[in-house]
């Protein structure tokens, strides 16, 4: 699950590594696990109730998925993230937002096939490393299809 | 597979003890050709029982500080570990064999395997020793074992730690 060298400069005899595209990931905790979403797909953070904004003000047509509840059956009290990818949208509740982490795409590893094939864990499409830890990338599109409205 | 007098490296052992155990393994492997003909196997414990894998199917043995569970994953998958920057899928061989599943803890002993497309390893309780097994001394799994359990083994061999079950990785690893 580790990508190799990315090529070399044309015309030169010296091998060089191409810079791998870097994506900014929003890391958060949910279901006692470290997870992530691309920052570019997170359009809003709703800290209920501290923000004073009622969830009723948001679209009721979008999927609402509490990740703790989805995986463990226990509701979270953490913030809601609004995810958006083209016409797809969903609200995802997490336990705690951790940080924004720049991450080289080639450092990500696809999830094992046996995990991708399962219904619930199939919402994770890749994994990355943060220090000595591992985080899981969530695909909210699958999550919304599985657990949302 | 009765537990015998061989002292395993206990899960709570420190890194130094683990490293010493691995060093003993290397010494044992180096000494094997002079001792006897046989295929070297790494013996490891799952609870009181000892299991074995041929060394040529192993990449390394490592104590991993953090093993991340994957919510919703099958019980056979213990989680993912960061092994020097490489993300490795750790399988719970206890669950695969129908034993009491591995209890999540702060650290684990991982036996990293070779020969698979994706990095994969087995979570074990403790390392036992290196054993030289003469292929002629490998017996089939006991007829008393359930068929689904017996299918996970290529056979058994008698070692000082007891009756060692020789795992069939093609049956164990299906990722």
CATH of the domain at A45: 2.30.30.40
A6 pLDDT more than 70: no
Q: Sort out which chain B residues have CB atoms less than 8 A from A133's CB and list them.
A: 66, 68, 82
A104 and chain B in contact, CB less than 8 A: no
Lowest-confidence range among A52-66, A93-107, B91-105? A52-66
Range A66-80 average pLDDT: 94
Q: Pick the more confident residue, A42 or B103.
A: A42
Q: Is residue B62 part of a domain?
A: yes
Helix residue ranges per DSSP H, B60-117: 93-96
B147's tokens: 């068929």
Instruction: Please check whether residue B87 lies inside any domain of the structure.
Output: yes
Total domains present in chain B: 1
Min Cα separation B72/chain A (Å) = 5
Q: Which of A11-15, A114-118, B78-82 has the highest mean pLDDT?
A: B78-82
Where residue A5 falls among pLDDT bands split at 50, 70, 90? very low
- What CATH number did the domain enclosing B112 receive? 2.40.50.180
* DSSP code per residue over A68-106: HHHHHS----S-EEEEEETTEEEEEE-SEEEEEEEEEGG
Q: Is residue B36 part of a domain?
A: yes
Nearest to A112 among B72, B85, B175 (CB): B175
Q: Do A71 and B71 touch (CB under 8 A)?
A: yes
Per-residue pLDDT, B4? 39
Mean pLDDT of A10-30: 73
A81 reaches B (C-beta below 8 A): no
Between B168 and A14, the more confident residue is B168
Which one of B70, B82, B118 has the shortest CB-CB distance to A133?
B82
Classify residue A100: in a domain, yes or no. yes
Per-residue pLDDT at B36: 58
pTM for the model stands at 0.79
- Residues of the domain holding A34: 22-147
- Look at A11 and A109; give whichever has higher pLDDT: A109
Note the pLDDT of residue A4: 41
Structure token digits, residue A16? 């060089």
Q: Which of residues 71-110 of B touch A (CB under 8 A)?
A: 71-74, 76-77, 79-82, 85-89
Q: How many domains does the structure of chain A reveal?
A: 1
pLDDT classification of A61: cutoffs 50, 70, 90: confident
- Band of residue A15 on the pLDDT scale cut at 50, 70, 90: low
Facing residue for B175 by CB, picked from A33, A71, A114: A114
What was the pLDDT predicted at A113? Answer: 86
**Is A17 domain-assigned?**
no
Residue B42 lies in a domain: yes
pLDDT single digits (tens) B126-152: 999 999 999 999 999 999 988 988 999
Q: A128 to chain B: which residues are within 8 Å by CB?
A: 87
Phi, psi of A142 (to 5 degrees): -70, -35
Q: Considering chain B, what is the average pLDDT of its residues?
A: 83
pLDDT digits (tens, 9 = 90+) for A109-137: 999 888 888 889 999 999 999 988 999 99
What integer pLDDT is reported at residue A3 of this predicted model? 42
Tokens of residue B146, six digits:
């359930």
Q: How many CB atoms lie within 10 A of CB A65?
A: 22
A72 in B contact zone (CB under 8 Å): yes
For residue range B41-56, what is the model confidence (pLDDT) as tens digits?
Answer: 999 999 899 999 999 9
Using an 8 Å CB-CB cutoff, list chain B residues near A115.
70, 73-74, 77, 89, 175
**A72 to B71: CB separation less than 8 angstroms, yes or no:** yes
Using pLDDT thresholds of 50, 70 and 90, give the confidence band for residue A20: confident
Q: Can you give the pLDDT at residue B86?
A: 92
In this prediction, residue B5 carries a pLDDT of 38
| pLDDT the model gives residue A140 | 92
Question: What ipTM was predicted for this assembly?
Answer: 0.78
Mean pLDDT of A72-90: 92
In a domain, B99, yes or no: yes
CA distance A9 to chain B (A): 26
Establish whether the linkage from the previous residue to A49 is cis, with ω within 30° of 0: yes
Name the minimum distance, in Å, from the CA of B21 to any CA of chain A: 23
Question: Does residue B29 lie in a domain region?
Answer: yes
**Chain B environment of A118 (Cβ under 8 Å):** 72-74
B120 lies within 8 A of chain A by CB: yes
Distance from CA of B101 to the nearest CA of A (A): 17
DSSP letter assigned to residue B139: B
Asked if residues B171 and B53 have their Cβ atoms less than 8 Å apart, the reply is no
């Amino acid at each position: 699950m580790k990508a190799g060298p990315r090529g070399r400069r044309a015309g030169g005899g010296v091998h060089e590594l191409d810079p791998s595209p870097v994506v900014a990931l929003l890391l958060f905790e949910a279901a006692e696990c470290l997870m992530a979403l691309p920052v570019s797909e997170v359009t809003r953070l709703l800290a209920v109730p501290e923000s004073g904004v009622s969830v009723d003000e948001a679209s009721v047509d979008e999927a609402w998925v509490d990740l703790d509840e989805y995986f463990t059956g226990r509701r979270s009290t953490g913030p809601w993230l609004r995810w958006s990818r083209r016409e797809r949208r969903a609200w995802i509740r997490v336990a705690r937002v951790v940080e924004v982490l720049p991450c080289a795409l080639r450092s990500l590893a696809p999830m094992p096939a046996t995990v991708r094939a399962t219904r619930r864990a199939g919402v994770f499409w890749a994994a990355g490393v943060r220090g000595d830890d591992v985080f899981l990338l969530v695909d909210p599109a699958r999550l919304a299809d599985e657990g949302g409205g | 597979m009765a537990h015998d007098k061989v002292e395993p490296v206990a899960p709570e052992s420190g890194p130094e003890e683990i490293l010493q155990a691995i060093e003993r393994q290397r010494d044992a492997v180096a000494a094997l050709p002079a001792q006897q003909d046989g295929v070297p196997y790494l013996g490891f414990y799952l609870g009181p029982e000892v299991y074995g894998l041929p060394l040529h199917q192993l990449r390394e043995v490592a104590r991993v500080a953090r093993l991340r569970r994957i919510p919703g994953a099958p019980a056979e998958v213990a989680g993912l570990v960061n092994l020097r920057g490489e993300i490795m899928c750790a399988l719970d061989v206890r669950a695969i064999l129908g034993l009491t599943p591995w209890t999540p803890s702060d650290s684990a002993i991982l036996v990293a395997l070779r020969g698979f497309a994706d990095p994969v390893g087995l979570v074990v309780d403790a390392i036992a020793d290196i054993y030289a097994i003469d292929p002629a001394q490998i017996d089939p799994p006991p007829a008393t074992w359930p068929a689904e359990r017996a299918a996970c083994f290529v056979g058994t061999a008698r070692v000082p730690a007891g009756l060692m079950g020789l795992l069939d990785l093609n049956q164990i690893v299906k990722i």
